[in-house]
Amino acid sequence: MKYSRLIFANLFRKKIRLILTIGSFAVALFLFTFLAVVKGAFSRGTELAGADRLVVINRVGLINTMPLAYGDKIRQIKGVMFATHNNWFGGVYQDEKNFFPQFVIDPENQRKVMTEMRVPDDQWKNFVSDRQGAIAGRNLAKRFKWKVGDRIPLQNALYGPTKTWEFNLDGIYTNDKEGGDESQFWLQWDYFYENIPQQIKGQAGWWVLKLDSPDDAVRVGKAIDDGFANSSYETKTETESAFQAGFAKQLGNIQALITTIGSVVFFTLLLVTGNTMAISIRERTGELAVLKAIGFTDRFVLFFVLSESLVIALIGGLLGLGLAILAIPVVGANLNGLLPPLLLSATALGLGVVLAVLVGVASGLLPGLGAMRLRVVDALRRV
């Protein structure tokens, strides 16, 4: 394009200012994208939750248990296809910072309920027949470089005096859903049951149910909660997505916080870029007047200013997104399971580009309109 030289020559007029503006754009876009990814991670549990699954927990709270016998009653309710009980294990692998979720599972029903979590049949068979067996998610195994056959020691102080529990890694599960959790560690219910104190035997942490149809969710949930009402262990049954959302909310209204920070970043970026463009245009009033005098139209002048701000926005934006592409996997890997997996989706990248374009246009619009309305005679008088 014949005007590109004019646009780019002006861009590089003040190199330090250009670098700083592009740099602030890149950092802001990186931050915005990172926040979008974290927000996405918090909401992903809800999005990926099975529509046909219910979670039953103790009405008092998730850390309170319920009688194991509830399972039989739950399974008798019409509409419940399968029910599996889980328990929190809470062991420490080598160091406390190596956190990852560890669940004691019911081998008989786990795969029937959590159908998207796939374990090869031969590995599952080994796990079921091995009392000290364990299954790890693919990401977890990758994180600690575990492979099938490894012996995994976990220290635990939740169930009596601190002791080391030894597990054999019999299998690795994968998740069919993109961005689905692959960071869990499953261990055998029987091995757990044998090694916990008598007084907490016969209890389960929660149940996950698979329903015949998602349409049964409300009726089944009510039936369960009504059935255990006024007992010592009242229940709270909700859909898996509601459970995930509630779980995320325990950390506070993270999403609102992230949205607020993101908006502040966006607005600050707009002010910084807008101010830079305004200064840049003000410095060139005389030159713009000359362009108009020799025949460049008002629309061209607007296009010229908008092109400059758009080029700055796109260069800064793409740098920021490039930084996000490089940094987010590294940051995610170092979060050690404290957050759900951080996934930089094509949607988030697209949103970043759209945001860059929007800020580019918005920041150039006011100075551009000012330059467009500039009266040549007045501007030349100021030169």
Q: Of these, 200, 279, 298, 354, which contacts another protein (CB under 8 A)?
A: 298
CA distances from 310 to 137, 275, 347, 380 (A): 44, 14, 21, 27
CA 380 – CA 383 distance, rounded (Å): 5
Provide the Cα torsion 313, 316, 320, 325; round to 10°.
90
Location of structure tokens 């008989």: 108
Tell the smallest beta-carbon distance from residue 319 to another protein (Å). Answer: 23
Q: By CB under 8 A, which span of 153-161, 166-174, 263-271, 296-304 interacts with another protein?
A: 296-304
**Separation CA 288–CA 308 (nearest Å):** 14
Which residue of 254, 257, 296, 353 would you call a contact of another protein, by CB under 8 A? 296
- Give me the phi and psi of 372, to 5 degrees please: -65, -40
Instruction: Candidates 2-10, 22-30, 180-188, 357-365: pick the segment binding another protein (CB under 8 A).
Output: 2-10
For 219, half-sphere exposure in the C-beta direction (CA atoms, 13 angstrom radius) is 10
Q: CA–CA separation, 343 vs 183, rounded Å?
A: 14
Query: Strands 206-211 and 80-88: what pairing?
Result: antiparallel
Which segments of 202-360 are extended strands (E)? 203-204, 206-211, 235-239
Q: Determine, following the binding rule CB under 8 A, whether residue 371 of this chain makes contact with another protein.
A: no
Residue 285 Cβ vs another protein, minimum distance, rounded to whole Å? 11
Q: Which residues pair with 152 in a beta bridge?
A: 167
φ/ψ of 83, rounded to 5, equals: -140, 135
By CB under 8 A, is residue 285 in contact with another protein?
A: no
Residue 123 or 285: the one with the smaller Cβ distance to another protein is: 285
Residue 159: count of CB within 10 angstroms of its CB:
17
CA atoms of 48 and 201, how far apart (whole Å):
32
Determine if 6 is a binding residue for another protein (CB under 8 A): yes
If the CB atoms of residues 210 and 292 are measured against another protein, the closer one turns out to be 292
15 binds another protein (CB under 8 A): no
- The reply to whether 287 sits near another protein by the rule CB under 8 A is yes
Query: Please, what is the minimum distance in Å from the beta carbon of residue 383 to another protein?
Result: 5
Q: Is 3 in the site for another protein (CB under 8 A)?
A: yes
5 touches another protein by CB under 8 A: yes
Q: Report the residue number, 291 or 310, with the smaller CB distance to another protein.
A: 291
Q: Does 297 bind another protein (CB under 8 A)?
A: yes
Position 286 contacts another protein (CB under 8 A): yes
Compute the least distance from the CB of residue 34 to another protein, in Å. Answer: 36
Residue 19 within binding range of another protein, rule CB under 8 A: no
Work out whether 282 is an interface residue with another protein (CB under 8 A): no
Q: How many whole angstroms separate alpha carbon 3 and alpha carbon 300?
A: 10
The burial of 68, by beta-carbon neighbours within 10 Å (0-12 exposed, 13-18 middle, 19 or more buried), is given as middle
- Total residues interacting with another protein, rule: CB under 8 A: 24
SS3 127: helix
Q: Which stretch binds another protein (CB under 8 A): 1-9, 95-103, 199-207, 269-277?
A: 1-9
CB of 291 to another protein, least distance (A): 7
Segment lying near another protein (by CB under 8 A), choices 99-107, 143-151, 289-297, 343-351 = 289-297
Question: What span, in angstroms and rounded, lies between the C-alpha atoms of 86 and 187?
Answer: 10
Out of 9, 63, 330, 346, point to the residue binding another protein (CB under 8 A). Answer: 9
The count of C-alpha atoms lying within 13 angstroms of the C-alpha of 142, restricted to the half-sphere facing its C-beta, is: 10
- Tell me if 17 contacts another protein by CB under 8 A: no
Least Å from the CB of residue 264 to another protein = 35
User: Least CB distance from residue 283 to another protein, whole Å?
Assistant: 11
Query: Minimum distance from CB of 304 to another protein (Å)?
Result: 11
Contact residues for another protein, defined by CB under 8 A: 2-3, 5-6, 9-10, 12-13, 286-287, 289-298, 376-377, 380, 383
